[in-house]
Structure 1
């Protein structure tokens, strides 16, 4: 397998082998269940679909109930596909429906992983918070309330319009974000916990995808 589904627990810090205190994120990763195996000859590409988190059967659509029953597992709250690309280590042929996947089957300490999730939504924000504008920087010379204003956004008679993509105020956050090359600092298999260096996108208890 090349990845697993997990849940962000929060942040802490651990001491590395060199004695330095390293900030890290705690992820509860798995155990996941193989809910579908896709192969080149039947689906056009090779991939494994994993399911994570329990879901009440009464809240699961009939089509999904049948999908999970085929894998001989209970309904899952979240599913994600992990594709097998040419040149990578082959894993699809080794997977079967209903098989349980744990972090110890995929990761070892020292691995580098990519973690994808949905960033915290921050609503409608100004240009200073959204794009890092510096603002005017002083309140003298008649500036009044212009410290965090965007300034001019275009020409007058030419081009007589605002160019697309202009950095302005607007809704920010709540987007798909991937943090890459995070080192696996520690594995706690008995509790399904994975500690990775640095921060990852999303709020506490949000769902993330961890890939090698």
Structure 2
């Protein structure tokens, strides 16, 4: 696995190719990120590389993180993320990484937290069908029976019912890079990306 980067989702739009077809794309502002730590694992061959993204006020950081950054003479970062890689050639603490090494047409994986929908009913959350809407029906949006009676006398864990929807980590693989703007650190990705506009995302490729 190659070293990944952090960024923010800017928003969605659409572009047209040479044939006049519409392509839905997502704009991402990626990096620049700084390597804050390189830690070797003696149990396996993988190496943990920590990167920092987005400068912040030192007063907003906790003391352990602040001491960790000061020890390596690094600026204060709001977000820290660790990646496991096999090769650390040409990598050192304090090196800045950006999107210059990415290529148009290549594929990357993007992880982020989906938009939270709050407490949702079983129809919206699990796409269940509704009850009859005729006069006299008392089961329009009710879940109905949720378990057997005497045996087993309980509801099994994992039953699809109403509950919190969204706000979960989602990874979308093999998203194609349409365009790269190195001056503004912008990536144009074909398709959708989890999260709302302005949310933090993680990109990496294998």
TM-score by length of 2: 0.91
CA distance in structure 2 between the partners assigned to 1:165 and 1:134 by the alignment: 19
Deviation at 1:93, TM superposition (A): 2.6
Write the mapping of 1:108-187 to structure 2, written as runs, cut at 5 A.
Answer: 108-136=103-131, 138-140=132-134, 142-144=136-138, 146-187=139-180
Asked if 1:210 is matched to 2:203, the reply is yes
- In structure 2, the CA distance between the partners of 1:62 and 1:166, relative to structure 1 (3 Å rule), is closer
Query: How many residues are aligned here?
Result: 204
Deviation at 1:18, TM superposition (A): 4.4
CA distance in structure 2 between the partners assigned to 1:131 and 1:8 by the alignment: 27
- In structure 2, the CA distance between the partners of 1:134 and 1:42, relative to structure 1 (3 Å rule), is closer
Q: Counterpart in 1 of 2:56?
A: 55
Q: 1:197 aligns with which of 190, 196, 199?
A: 190
Gaps of 5+ in 1: none
**What's the Cα RMSD here?**
1.9
Asked if 1:95 is matched to 2:91, the reply is yes
Deviation at 1:26, TM superposition (A): 0.8
CA contact (8 A) 1:34 1:71 kept: no
CA contact (8 A) 1:38 1:45 kept: no
Q: Counterpart in 2 of 1:8?
A: 9
- In structure 2, the CA distance between the partners of 1:160 and 1:76, relative to structure 1 (3 Å rule), is same
CA contact (8 A) 1:155 1:161 kept: yes
Gaps of 5+ in 2: none
